[in-house]
Amino acid sequence: MANFLRVGDLDTEALVARGLEMKADPGRWAGSLAGKSVALFFEKPSTRTRISTEVAAAQLGMHPVVIGNESVGLGSRETPADVVRVMGRYVDLAAMRVFSHESLEAMRRHSGIPLVNLLSDLAHPCQAIADLMTIAERRPLEGSRVAYIGDGNNVCISLARGLARTGGRLTLACPPGYEPPKEEVEELGDALEIVHDPAEAADGADALYTDVWTSMGQEEEREQRLEAFAGFQVDAHLFAAASPEAIFLHCLPAHRGEEVTSEIMEHPRSVVFDQAEHRLHSVKAILHTLLA
């Protein structure tokens, strides 16, 4: 049984192509999963992920059921394995936004239904498909180089995995100590380059990407991270080092004035809101691939 817990679990190029098809002709796919239901579980709060996934399911004719952790108590009131075994008796698919990727792996081992990772500490695969769609609308993915300025986090890892599977590559510029886990770096090989100078990463890049310096659950590290990432802001000077046709991406929410300036967020080549829209179409492509 197929799941989508990490980029590579499904055909990446096919998901990007299907997402763009669904964007171009949404009526063709309307109601195509009628009669099916999906549980949307959020251990962590969400804006874009919840709205896009709930709307995606509804547009495909599915019945979405949204569940917060106050109802579940994942890992305290009930084990991940028991939660997903119960869900499998009611719904056709479960999509989860969790703190720990280990929770998803525990669910996968016991699940009788497909699972989708809506975000974990290790991966954000739905975001990566939306990112790749955004790039693919403007240039071929093959040969594209994205400069990721910031933390080697779940978003960075998933995008790097996506680029590796579509003929692109990612250059990460981060302070020492903020690289992705060693096993991820080794698996990605030549598709991932790590530098510690933002200007070096940005030089000639086809896209600049950044994310918040302090993610949800890292609030106690905020001051330390602000100090470590000083000098890693995407501003006009850094953007000018990229290709003349380069685009700017951000998975949102953005902390304007920290990792990116308002000038770049509002730049004519900023595509962050197209990118946010693609969260809807990417999830539709994932749901349809798993259930049609």
Contact predicate 226/258, CB 8 Å: yes
Question: Which candidate in 6, 9, 18, 127 is catalytic?
Answer: 127
From the candidates 18, 124, 165, 288, which is the catalytic residue? 124
- Known catalytic residue: 124? yes
Residue from 126, 156, 174, 251 carrying the catalytic annotation: 251
Alpha carbons 25 and 23: distance in angstroms, whole number: 6
In the annotation, is 211 catalytic? yes
List 174, 211, 250, 275, catalytic entry: 211
The active-site residue out of 145, 279, 281, 288 is 279
Q: Given 6, 50, 97, 161, which residue is catalytic?
A: 97
Query: CB pairs under 8 A, 24+ apart, for 68-71?
Result: 68/41, 68/42, 69/41, 69/42, 69/43
- Residues 6 or more apart whose Cβ sits within 8 Å of residue 243: 204, 205, 206
Pairing of strands 63-68, 169-173: unpaired
- Say what the alpha-carbon torsion angle 18, 110, 124, 222 is, to the nearest 10 degrees: 170
**Whole-Å CA distances, 80 to 65, 74, 122, 186, 254:** 18, 6, 17, 29, 31
Pairing of strands 207-210, 63-68: unpaired
What SS3 class is residue 251?
coil
What are the structure tokens assigned to 206, written together? 């086809």
- Rounded Cα gap, residues 279 and 97, in angstroms: 14
Residues 284 and 133: their CA atoms lie apart, in Å, by 13
3-state secondary structure at position 90 = coil
Strand partners, 173: 149, 195
- Residue 127 annotated among the catalytic residues of the structure: yes
Strand partners, 116: 4, 95
Q: Is 251 a catalytic site residue?
A: yes
Query: Which DSSP category does 272 fall into?
Result: H
**Residues annotated as part of the active site:** 97, 124, 127, 211, 251, 279
